[in-house]
A and B are shown apart, each in its own frame.
Chain A
Amino acid sequence: MGYSFDFQSVSFGPLWEGLIVTLELTVAANLIGVVLGFPLALLIMSRFAPVRLPAMLFVEFFRCTPAIVQIVWFFYCVPMLFNVFLGSMTMGILALGLNLMAFNAEAYRAAIQAVPREQLDAGIALGLNPLQRTLYIVLPTAVRASIPVLLTNGIGIFQQTALVAIVAVQDLMYQAKSLATETYRPIETFTIVALVYFAVSFPVSQVVGFLERRRQLMMS
């Protein structure tokens, strides 16, 4: 291999700015996903079809189409259809946030359904009404149980943020592409960028593993 590496010509300034944008996208999308995912989960579990079906359609749309298509659709179709464009950053946050909300709703739903029947029986035996059972038994148990999946989905969306580069959001990936073109150093640039994504994701995935092991201990 005759390639001579030159990491000197990769300037970190733009990459740093890009990373900040990427983290902003991640945090904002996660806020939407974690908070709004729970009510969405309650909607998809509703006994009333007019409530349940639209919610399910929403979830399935985001689960069954590629994220990149969703992002492109948001950037080009929403402005044309509804005559609104909220700036590329906002549109990016919305596209990623709604996507995450759909996936998190599924995580919450699975966790809610996994609350053992006996727990609810105990709640009834203690005289708690349905709302009290949801608030004091189902919700805390389900939220705890879904934390590992929420975190996994969260780092998933951190990586998906790279997709918004194609619609000119100046995130880490966007900066990397510009830098690679300017310096003719794609190997160095993208290697560094890959390491940066890894350095952020890896600790989170370790935390997920730790939480799952601890949960198994708690349940035993």
Chain B
Amino acid sequence: MTMSFSAPLVKIQSLHKSYGPHIQVLKGLDIEMKPGERVVVIGPSGGGKSTLLRVMMGLEKIDSGSISFGGKPYISSESADRKTEIDTEVRRSIGMVFQHYTLFPHLSVIQNLILAPCKVRGESRASATKRAQALLERFGLGAKANAYPAQLSGGQKQRVAIARALMLDPKLMLFDEVTSALDPELVAEVEQVILQLAAQSMPMMIVTHDMWFAKNIASRVIFCAGGVVVEDGPPEQVLGAPKEERTRDFIDRVFHIRH
């Protein structure tokens, strides 16, 4: 048994999820994440990485298993009616950033940032706007507060999306392939922002295909394939000297492509 100071922040137990009767994406996933950890999830497409994050955010129903956050179960399946129970209070302490920015196109940057704090938490407009402006300044977007998403570059949109998620003071951030849709020259500015958060010891789980970024940011790397955890360990091990055959194959192929 681990001692209390390293009690898990997230505990995922025997998570099963399928799309329709034939496509089983998660086949009994077990992951424990400690506070302050930065977990990078890598693996082949269709291996269940994005589904894992979507399930953690409550965007997908699960078939069986459970997830708890800070010791409190917040997602579980009621096997009787196959209904997924989600505790909204806990879910609100988790922020998520998606591959395709998902900024609301009809709202300006600042309106995108203050929508949820004002509507969900009942924060006053003035106070939310003040916090939003400070966040934008920090991310080098101070001048873009009144711009609309269509007027921003991909990298700027993604930085706004990160700022928007941070407005709710999350205790855990989920990043789902946030640089995959970006032009190569815009990737660095987004990764920089995530590294900034890492420096402030924000716990995060990151799904990425960018192995260099994974190396830089991870405190732990999980290789996920076929809906299960194949290998789990520090980045030097999983990325540098993987123990499992399947991990080694994958790492070889990915790094080979990048050279």
A residues lining the B interface (CB < 8 Å): 116, 118-119, 121-122, 124-128, 132, 136-137, 140-141, 144, 217-220
Contacts and interface: CB of A to CB of B under 8 A. Distances in A.
Contacts of A141: 104-106
A118 to B, nearest CB: 5
Nearest to B150: A218
A137 B112 CA distance: 11
B150 A126 contact: no
Given A124-B57, A127-B92, A220-B150, 4 more contacts: A121-B98, A122-B161, A125-B165, A144-B106
B98 A118 contact: yes
Contacts of A124: 57-59
Query: Chain B, interface size: which category?
Result: 20 to 34
A144 B91 CA distance: 31
Contact of B104 (A121, A122, A217, A219): A122
Contacts of B120: 126-128, 132
Nearest to A220: B150
A218 B104 CA distance: 12
A48 B204 CA distance: 41
A129 to B, nearest CB: 8
Interface in B126-156: 150
Contacts of A140: 106
Given A121-B59, A125-B165, A136 B119 contact: yes
B57 A125 contact: yes
B102 A122 contact: yes
A114 to B, nearest CB: 12
8 contacts: A121-B54, A122-B98, A124-B59, A125-B96, A125-B165, A126-B164, A128-B116, A137-B104
A126 to B, nearest CB: 4
B95 interface: yes
A137 B106 CA distance: 8
A132 B117 CA distance: 12
Nearest to A217: B150
Given A127-B116, A127-B168, A217-B150, A119 B104 contact: yes
B215 interface: no
Contacts of B59: 121, 124-125
Contacts of A132: 119-120
A127 B96 CA distance: 11
Contacts of A144: 106
Nearest to B115: A136
Nearest to A139: B106
Nearest to A119: B102
B209 interface: no
B85 to A, nearest CB: 15
A52 B88 CA distance: 30
B246 interface: no
B100 interface: yes
Contact of A127 (B91, B98, B102, B161): B91
Contacts of A118: 98, 100, 102
Contacts of B103: 122
Nearest to B57: A125
A128 B119 contact: yes
Given A118-B100, A119-B104, A127 B88 contact: yes
Interface in B152-192: 161, 164-165, 168
A138 to B, nearest CB: 11
Contacts of B164: 126
